[in-house]
Structure 1
Amino acid sequence: MNSEDKKLITSAKKAAIEVLLHNAKGTIANLPRTAGWGYPEPYTRDLLISVLGIAISGNKELMLSMENVLRTLASNQSERGQIPSIVHDKNNLGSSDTTPLFLMAVGIFRPLLDDSHFLEEAVKKALLWMDYQCPTNYFLIAQQPTSDWRDEQWVLGFGLFVNTLTYSGLKFLKKETQANNLSDAIGQFTSASDTSHSGPHEGLAISDQPYYALWSYKIYSSNRFDLLGNSLAILSGLSTPEKNKAMVKWIEQECKSMAQRKVLIPHLTPNFFPYIQPGDLDWLPRYTDFNKPGDYHNGGIWPFISGFYIAALVAAKEFELAEEKLLALTKLIQKGRTTDLKFSFNEWYKAQNGEPMGQDWQTWSASNYLYAATCVQLRRTPFFDTIREEHLRQSH
């Protein structure tokens, strides 16, 4: 990486802080906003995913803002322990990822606040809620379609993202027994790929692939690739170092092939592939309007997920590739729908041409860029390093 590239990344990191500070001053209940102009609402998942960039920023105003988010969520938690989908609205429920995100965020924040019991009662209730999301008593967390961040795409039964997220939250909170049980469950093969039926129940590993399934339930599963869930598997230590290397090699080969076929701009990674096409068994009529191939959840490029992938590359010790991906992401986030911004941190980009399709100054886009850039600079992954190393020690 040359000096001009480094200057560009430094400028982008500074711009990311400016976005986060701007969005920290929202218009609803003294809570942050989800995007600079388009989304004034304090959406729980967006704000909690932004905990990583905020936590490594060292900015007191941002830290206080996140602490306020966590305390407000605890005060609006449902009687049974579920975390609402909008921070201040206790009646807005139904998301499968907000409660594990809360657990992860509290686990990250406790050491920063030097308070090992921060929001202890809320955490206990949230953990109990997660226990009841396991319908089989085999530890995997189940969800309803469109209940996680993919609000326009079906994930059935045991989804990878929600389970890797839950595992990460348990590890950050030092709930080792529960985390180990969930790790073992995730590591079982999917029933569809395990012809010898070697495990006691279905899991999320695929017998002939180096990555984890998008979802699995009984005899069915999806082998389409989920970049977010698999990046978390690498970061958290669920995936072994050997599997990490094989997975990264597979991802890059697939992306190179897609770029050659002109269905992906070079050097970047879609959130999901192969894209679901009209006529595929998992194509739904509504996708025609909201989820075309290469769009939105069906293969769009999301900077917040790219940030997770870049951090995962650092965790896999693929340092040069992480630098390349960070530079490509830095150039992409300059493109926005608001033309007078040097860095737009748009919500998502179309895979085939890299055009910005969402809202500019998106909180989680800015935050995860900041986290990814810091990981590349340090050649380590703050917070995740600890739980990944613990997992490796326990495995040996």
Structure 2
Amino acid sequence: MESAIQLTKQAAIDVLLHNRSGPFDGLPRTAGWGYPEPYTRDLLISALGIFTSGREELVGALREVLETLGRNQGPHGQIPSLVQDPENRGASDTTPLFLLVLGMFRRHTGEAAFLEAAGAKALTWMAYQTTEDRDLVGQQPTSDWRDEQWVLGHGLYVNALVHGYLRILGLNRQAGAFREAANRVDGRGFLTPGQPTYAFWFYKVLRNERCDVLGNSLAILTGLADGDRAREMVGWIEAQCEALRRQGELALDLPPCLFPFVQPGDWDWHARDGIYNPPGSYHNGGVWPFVCGFYIAALVAAGAYDLAERKLLALTALVQRSKKGQIHHSGAFGFNEWFRAQDGSPEGEEWQTWSASMYLYAAACVEAREALFF
């Protein structure tokens, strides 16, 4: 299977090289065909795989992304949702992703003052994103990577990103206070009684305790969860996924992005979900390769090395799938956007930049037995 991993790593690099320049000011493409636009969150998340690729042309393309984002910041410091469009704002995760990747880029290149003014301006924006003038930041529904999923108030994913950039930028006092706030047990933090994983989101008396795999993976990677909790989280997620497989709700040896799936009639079901976000699909429990990449890295961070190797093999097989009947020069490697949980069918666009990049990152973490860059 080692040869399959090496072959898939090379295919992932081929995707990134193909996508590194697109029709919008030469900025990288989000996907090989369907998404020519340079979506900020996708390209920033892809930095993790780029750093492990060993390809300077990819690091150069990432530099251009960061510099362009710095030029296109909003007047108060917000980072746009499309790299080249300063008027396309409103995302809750682009600014914390910018700060996280900026810190990683500085370490990778040794340029400690890279985009210093833009970074300071972004930090000012984030300082005003708290809903109660405390530590945790708030957001509007459908404003993060899940454009078909309501996350109200304090979302785990965005707050885990904030903790990550506070640590990587050396803002240790703020990071300590933030971690303490996130782990409160009085209902004003993400801790869920009787469940190792953190809540999906909470705001005042409202709380969604579904498991957000990306948010919990980032909580492990950024140190929001300590080592004991991280190991408990992994065991619980694996047990829940096995239960989904027994119920015929999960056909893959990889976790869905969210579970339990939101079903019609549930309190957090919305009318649009029946059309755009049905159970086991898209943001309502679809299996996303980029999310699986973060999960594999979190397994490594939790010391579950054998399990991480098994999941990497499962991801290797998954990203090779292409949509049935779709033939183009991608060959056997689809690197699709997401897969339906119940049958593992590939969905969304192929040659997705973050799918290829996070495969490279997951493989590098497994090989190094270290959660790189965090």
> What TM-score, normalized to structure 1?
0.92
Q: Give the equivalent residue in structure 1 for 2:340.
A: 350
Q: For residues 242 and 339 of structure 1, what CA distance do their matches in structure 2 show? A: 47
Query: 1:180 pairs with 173, 176, 179, which one?
Result: 176
Post-superposition offset of 1:155:
0.3
Q: For residues 92 and 209 of structure 2, what CA distance do their matches in structure 1 show? A: 21
Q: Does 1:218 align with 2:208?
A: no
| Contact 2:293–2:359 under 8 Å retained in 1 | yes
Q: Give the equivalent residue in structure 1 for 2:360.
A: 370
SS in structure 1 at match of 2:346: coil
Q: For residues 65 and 90 of structure 2, what CA distance do their matches in structure 1 show? A: 19
Q: Give the equivalent residue in structure 2 for 1:199.
A: none
Q: For residues 173 and 204 of structure 1, what CA distance do their matches in structure 2 show? A: 23
Q: For residues 261 and 322 of structure 2, what CA distance do their matches in structure 1 show? A: 24
Q: Give the equivalent residue in structure 2 for 1:19.
A: 15
SS in structure 1 at match of 2:161: helix
Q: For residues 130 and 266 of structure 1, what CA distance do their matches in structure 2 show? A: 37
SS in structure 2 at match of 1:221: strand
Post-superposition offset of 1:189:
2.7
One-letter code of the match for 1:279?
G
Q: For residues 138 and 121 of structure 2, what CA distance do their matches in structure 1 show? A: 18
Q: For residues 339 and 314 of structure 1, what CA distance do their matches in structure 2 show? A: 35
C-alpha distance after superposition, 1:162-193 (max 9, x if no partner): 000011011111111221121111111362xx
Aligned pair count reads 370
Q: For residues 377 and 289 of structure 1, what CA distance do their matches in structure 2 show? A: 41
C-alpha distance after superposition, 1:275-302 (max 9, x if no partner): 0000001000000110000000000000
C-alpha distance after superposition, 1:24-81 (max 9, x if no partner): 0211111000000000000000000001000111211000000000000000001100
SS in structure 2 at match of 1:168: helix
C-alpha distance after superposition, 1:323-358 (max 9, x if no partner): 110101111111112345221100000000000011
Q: For residues 49 and 106 of structure 2, what CA distance do their matches in structure 1 show? A: 16
Post-superposition offset of 1:156:
0.4
Instruction: Tell me whether 86-95 or 49-58 shows the greater mean CA deviation.
Output: 49-58
Q: For residues 207 and 261 of structure 1, what CA distance do their matches in structure 2 show? A: 25
Q: Does 1:102 align with 2:98?
A: yes
SS in structure 2 at match of 1:152: coil
Q: Does 1:361 align with 2:361?
A: no
One-letter code of the match for 2:129?
Q
Q: For residues 155 and 62 of structure 1, what CA distance do their matches in structure 2 show? A: 33
Q: Does 1:293 align with 2:282?
A: no
Instruction: Tell me whether 282-291 or 260-269 shows the greater mean CA deviation.
Output: 260-269
One-letter code of the match for 1:133?
Q
Q: For residues 363 and 212 of structure 1, what CA distance do their matches in structure 2 show? A: 28
Post-superposition offset of 1:207:
2.3
Q: Give the equivalent residue in structure 1 for 2:236.
A: 250
Q: Matched residues, percent identical?
A: 54
One-letter code of the match for 1:255?
C
SS in structure 1 at match of 2:13: helix
One-letter code of the match for 2:262?
I
Q: For residues 4 and 215 of structure 2, what CA distance do their matches in structure 1 show? A: 29
C-alpha distance after superposition, 1:70-125 (max 9, x if no partner): 00000000110000000000000000000000000100000222111110111111
Q: Give the equivalent residue in structure 2 for 1:392.
A: none
Q: Give the equivalent residue in structure 1 for 2:80.
A: 84
Query: 1:304 pairs with 290, 298, 308, which one?
Result: 290
Query: What is the RMSD of the two structures over their aligned residues, measured on CA atoms?
Result: 0.9
Q: Give the equivalent residue in structure 1 for 2:37.
A: 41
- Structure 2 unaligned segments of length 5 or more: list them: none
Q: For residues 335 and 252 of structure 2, what CA distance do their matches in structure 1 show? A: 19
Query: 2:185 pairs with 175, 185, 189, which one?
Result: 189
Q: 1:74 to 1:300 in 2, by over 3 A?
A: same
> What TM-score, normalized to structure 2?
0.98
| Contact 1:190–1:204 under 8 Å retained in 2 | no
Q: Give the equivalent residue in structure 2 for 1:6.
A: 2
Residues 193-272 of structure 1 correspond to what in structure 2 (within 5 A)?
202-272=188-258
One-letter code of the match for 1:203?
G
Instruction: Tell me whether 236-245 or 43-52 shows the greater mean CA deviation.
Output: 236-245
| Contact 2:131–2:153 under 8 Å retained in 1 | no
| Contact 2:335–2:351 under 8 Å retained in 1 | yes
Query: 2:370 pairs with 367, 377, 380, which one?
Result: 380
